[in-house]
Structure 1
Amino acid sequence: MSRDAREWVWDHSSSRGAARLIMLSLADRVVDEQCVCWASLNSLVKRTGASKSTVQQALDRLLDAGELDEVVDLTGPQRSTVYRLPLAAQAAAQAANEQGTDSDEPAPVAGADLPLRVSALQRYGIRPREVPESPAKYRTPAGPGTGTPHRKPVHRRTGDRYRAVPVSGTQNGSEPKVNGKYSSDAAAVTTVDDWVVDAATHTWATQQGHRDRLGEQGLAAADAKWRAHRAEWEPRPAAFWAADWRSWIAREHAPHRPNIHTGSGTNPAVKGGMTRADAHTAALLAAIDAPTGSE
């Protein structure tokens, strides 16, 4: 019977390339007039000389074209996949009817649409597939001993899977909010004038000692100076403004801080318009002209 199946592939199959080689390889293993055969993916790769992906794509095209069916409730030797050539089986049934062949079970014209006779296939090592304990993970057989061929389902292409998700959807949970918790509000942008120092930042200033070091007036002055320097910046997330504000406050000097270059304050004050060197020279001259009491 494999010869008739091969002749059908040569004369009537529309397959080409690797798909034609696969059809010929499967037809070579046809066991009877039902045009049932078996093959594993590795054996088809070895027979055709094509890559595994090429063979898989060719099988999908043959299944979609209707020249090949996968019988999912049967298994072949060494657990190989069982296939059927439905169009070749229909042609064989028509030829048998035209010749008036007498047999116990004559094949009808539409033999490709009827259940397979599994009992006639068991001699070739083709048997019903054992149903696992959790059948929900597998395809349910059409019925015991029926050998009904099933078309392998085609993978649906859903296009853009995230088309229904809005552009401003839920933010990543790893984005920190200003108060240290996780929220999508941390991604909202605002200008420096609209940003308000939050409670967590106030707590940070107190714990770090910046509120005592600068005082309320000094802290307000530092805040105003920071906002003036950031006025030209583009709107940014609130978390950015909080981090930048903290960095600015940490570097801000306390008001009325003594100048380390003036020593203890005993040196004469620098007059307006005079450089430090001129002031030192004037103080030295004044000391020379001052009376010592020994004249």
Structure 2
Amino acid sequence: MSSDAREWVWEHSSSRGTARLVLLSIADRVADDKCVAWASLTSLVERTRASRTAVRDALTALDKSGELKVLSHLEGPQRSTVYRLPRAAAWLAKVATAPRTDPDAYVEPPADSDPVPELDEEAQKDLRRYGIWPKKGTEPDPSRRNPTGTESGPSRRNPTPRRAGIRPQHGTESGPQNRREPKLNRKGSSSGAAVTSAADWQVDPASHTWARQQGHLDRLSEDGLRAADAKWRAHRARHAPRPAEAWAADWRAWVAREHAPSRPNLYALPGGGAAPAGGMTRSEAHTAALLAALNEPTPAGTE
């Protein structure tokens, strides 16, 4: 019967805009020729993609026009509102009383004077199979659930609380979810390793030994190593303080790609044939080659 109710809305309703969408949404739930259906405000908002205020205004306008009525003595699943399309019910009743011997017999268009079939006690009992019950009924029945499994929600016995789910134990995003999980060290943090600036950091014996074992000391010489160290400190002067281990790793990476003053063109060119000396990896050699190319002067006439 929902198709007949929708057809009445499309063909004979004077509603427009959001009101028409709301009326179509309710007509889509009509189950029989009584043109009664239930709908929650939330479901109408979701179906029409309109705001709650717009849906409320549309319901008020439809009620004033007489095309929609609220059956306040009835309620649907989850205490949803029960509506009736009275003029659609009157139209379907007129069609039903037309001569059955001639299916093509002419039926007068619907008019405001057409009588609306009453909802007697027997008709209201029939609505119970669609989840519509008297609001203050005296007949207790444990089966008053949503029989159609529609979008109104879960069973009316124990509704699931909204926004239920697994949450962090501390309830915030700043702290870790696991109590045993340590927080990350931040600038100025009193926990974890101490931080220092690049200017205050001193080359530790392990880094100096690394430079000698990897051949960087022989490649750069003592003066070249001091020059590389001074250049590194100048470039890192404005960096935020870090732990000593972080500065040591950064310093080693800098020294590994620093070329000797007497050899501006690095030996670590891609495809150069011989393997890079000094313990440099292929990636470090390629990076050093790019840096060296940027430092080379541009020959005249090549721009």
Q: TM-score, normalised by structure 1?
A: 0.40
**Bigger radius of gyration:** 1
Q: TM-score, normalised by structure 2?
A: 0.39
Greater per-residue helix proportion? 1
